[in-house]
């Protein structure tokens, strides 16, 4: 698919049902008048507003890929999750209706598009394993660039942001909106400046207290609320 020219593009990931964090990030993106946003998966899981986060992504027509939490929500298979994640998936499945499940089921495992001649490859895990593989900054990024043949490879899943230039390409993890794990509790997202061929990570304060209280009120594990304050 060939897209029109956009000055900047936003990448978001790992919202995990955290509506307060998502709202804060989208408010910043809107204020910057950025018209194109991509999500690289895990809209649901962990926090207390999976349905509302799905509705926000749908209403804005934000293209999104399928993450491992979408996969678990669809299938009900949480065998590889820790007890905290599994209980959040099981609770979240009860909050969704048939339309929500249908939306999650139809999410693609990858999105490949061209913007101003640049090949953009978006995936939750990796080009090798779109849903489950964790790719870190020290991983073999050159191999993944060769596999994707991308100018910009954007991933999520680890909840730890990084940007790395590999040959003439950029490898980006935009970090987590809803549950950062780099010891910084602020929500994370990335902006791609098309003209400069440059990506930057941005961090955003949000109402952690409200997000945490919702988790406790839903009788989800308290650890899922506590970790939001420390970004672990």
Q: Average pLDDT of 37-55? A: 98
Chain segment 83-98, per-residue pLDDT in tens: 999 999 999 999 999 9
**Domain range annotation of the chain:** 2-107+177-230
Q: Is the pLDDT of residue 4 over 90?
A: no
**Averaged pLDDT score across all residues of the chain:** 96
- With 90 as the cut, is the pLDDT of residue 2 above it? no
The string of pLDDT tens digits covering residues 132-157 is: 999 999 999 999 999 999 999 999 99
Exposure string of 141-158, with b = 16+ CB inside 10 Å and e = fewer, is beebbeebebbbbbbbbb
Q: In the chain, what is the greatest distance between 2 CA atoms, to the nearest angstrom? A: 49
The one-character DSSP state at 64 is: B
Q: What is the pLDDT of residue 6?
A: 52
**What digits encode the pLDDT tens for the residues 191-202?**
999 999 999 999
4 or 158, higher pLDDT: 158
CA distance 186 to 205: 5
Q: Nearest-CA neighbor of 66 among 14, 159, 131, 8?
A: 131
Fold (topology level) of 2-107+177-230 = Purple Acid Phosphatase; chain A, domain 2 (3.60.21)
């Amino acid at each position: 698919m060939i897209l029109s020219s956009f000055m900047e593009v936003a990448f978001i990931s790992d919202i995990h049902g955290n509506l307060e964090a998502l709202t804060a990030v989208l408010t910043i993106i809107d204020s910057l008048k950025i018209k194109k946003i991509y999500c690289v998966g895990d809209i649901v899981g962990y926090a207390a507003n999976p349905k509302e986060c799905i509705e926000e992504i749908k209403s804005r027509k934000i293209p999104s890929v399928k993450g491992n939490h979408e996969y678990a929500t669809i299938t009900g298979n949480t065998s590889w999750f820790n007890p905290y994640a599994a209980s959040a998936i099981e609770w979240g499945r009860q909050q969704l209706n048939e339309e929500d499940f249908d939306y999650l089921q139809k999410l693609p495992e990858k999105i490949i598009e061209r913007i101003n001649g640049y090949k953009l490859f978006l995936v939750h895990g990796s080009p090798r394993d779109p849903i489950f593989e964790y790719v870190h900054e020290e991983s073999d990024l050159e191999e993944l660039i060769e596999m994707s043949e991308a100018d910009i490879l954007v991933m999520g899943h680890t909840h730890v942001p990084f940007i790395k230039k590999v040959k003439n390409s950029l490898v980006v993890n935009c970090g987590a909106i809803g549950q950062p794990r780099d010891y910084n509790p602020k929500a994370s997202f990335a902006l791609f400046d098309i003209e400069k061929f440059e990506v930057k990570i941005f961090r955003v304060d949000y109402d952690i207290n409200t997000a945490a209280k919702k988790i406790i009120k839903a009788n989800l594990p308290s650890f899922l609320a506590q970790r939001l304050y420390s970004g672990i």
